[in-house]
Amino acid sequence: MAIAERTAGTVSPPSVDVRPGWAGWLSTTDHKRIGIMYLVSAFVFFLIGGMEALLMRIQLGVPDNTFLTPDVYNQMFTMHGTTMIFLGLMPLNVGLGNYMVPLMIGARDMAFPRLNALSIWLFIFGGLMLYVSFFVGGAPNVGWFAYAPLTQKQFAPTAGVDYWIIGIGLTGVASIAGALNFIVTILNMRAPGMTLNRMPLFVWMQLVVAFILIFAFPVLTVATIQLLFDRHFGTRFFLPSLGGDAVLWQHLFWFFGHPEVYILILPTMGIISEVLPTFSRKPIFGYAFVAYSGVAIGFLGFLVWAHHMFAVGLGPLANAFFGAASFLIAVPTGVKIFNWLATMWQGSLNLTTSMLYAIGFISMFVIGGISGITLASPPINVQQTDSYYVVAHMHYVLFGGAIQGVFAGIFYWFPKMTGRMLNERLGKWQFWLMLISFNLTFFPMHLSGNEGMPRRIYTYEAEMGWNLWNLVSTIGSLLLAVAFLLFLWNVLTSIRRGPIAPADPWDGATLEWAVSSPPPVYNFAVTPRVRSRRPLWDEKYPHLHEVNGSHEAPARRSAGQRSDGFERETPEVMEAIHLPSPTYAPLIVSVGIMILGFGIIYLGDFGLIAASAMLVGLLVMATGILSWVRISHVDSPHQAHS
Partner 1 sequence: MSESSMTRPHTATAHHTSLGVDNRKLGVWAFIGSETLFFATLITTYFVFAPVNRARPDFQDPRKFLDIELTTVLASILLASSLTMVLALSASKRGDRRNFTIWLLATVGLGLAFIGGQVYEFNHLYHEGLTLSSSLFGTTFFVLTGFHGTHVAIGVIWLLSVFFKVRTYPDSPENAMDVEIAGLYWHFVDLVWVAIFVLVYLI
Which residues of the shown chain bind partner 1 in the complex (CB under 8 A)? Answer: 111-112, 176, 179-181, 183-184, 187-190, 194, 214-219, 221-223, 225-226, 229, 233-237, 242-245, 248, 252, 527, 573, 576, 578, 625, 629, 633, 636-639, 641-642
Q: How many Å apart are CA 121 and CA 243, to the nearest integer?
A: 39
Asked if 148 and 249 count as a contact pair (C-beta separation under 8 A), the reply is yes
Nearer to partner 1, 47 or 225 (CB): 225
Q: In the bound complex, what is the minimum distance in angstroms from residue 315's beta carbon to partner 1? A: 16
Q: In the bound complex, what is the minimum distance in angstroms from residue 13's beta carbon to partner 1? A: 17
Nearer to partner 1, 1 or 242 (CB): 242
Q: How many Å apart are CA 476 and CA 470, to the nearest integer?
A: 10
Q: In the bound complex, what is the minimum distance in angstroms from residue 207's beta carbon to partner 1? A: 11
DSSP lists the bridge partners of residue 415 as none
Q: How many Å apart are CA 112 and CA 505, to the nearest integer?
A: 30
Nearer to partner 1, 374 or 639 (CB): 639
Q: In the bound complex, what is the minimum distance in angstroms from residue 82's beta carbon to partner 1? A: 21
Burial degree of 333 (CB within 10 A; 0-12, 13-18, 19+)? buried
Q: Which amino acid, 178?
A: G
Instruction: Encode burial over 377-388: b for 16+ CB neighbours within 10 A, e otherwise.
Output: bbeebeebbebb
Q: CA separation (Å) from 36 to 43, 94, 115?
A: 10, 10, 16
Q: CA separation (Å) from 197 to 205, 292, 534?
A: 12, 10, 11
Instruction: Using alpha carbons only, give the angle 353, 356, 357 rounded to the nearest 5 degrees.
Output: 90
Nearer to partner 1, 145 or 229 (CB): 229
Q: How many Å apart are CA 596 and CA 622, to the nearest integer?
A: 12
Longest CA pairwise span in the chain (Å): 81
Phi, psi of 627 (to 5 degrees): -70, -30
- Cis amide bond preceding 20, omega within 30: no
Q: Give me the count of residues in the chain.
A: 642
Q: In the bound complex, what is the minimum distance in angstroms from residue 158's beta carbon to partner 1? A: 22
| 36 C-beta neighbours (distance < 10 Å), count | 20
Nearer to partner 1, 44 or 625 (CB): 625
SS3 567: strand
Q: In the bound complex, what is the minimum distance in angstroms from residue 621's beta carbon to partner 1? A: 11
Q: In the bound complex, what is the minimum distance in angstroms from residue 618's beta carbon to partner 1? A: 10
Nearer to partner 1, 456 or 633 (CB): 633
Q: In the bound complex, what is the minimum distance in angstroms from residue 164's beta carbon to partner 1? A: 19
Nearer to partner 1, 186 or 364 (CB): 186
Q: In the bound complex, what is the minimum distance in angstroms from residue 245's beta carbon to partner 1? A: 7
Nearer to partner 1, 457 or 576 (CB): 576
Nearer to partner 1, 118 or 392 (CB): 118
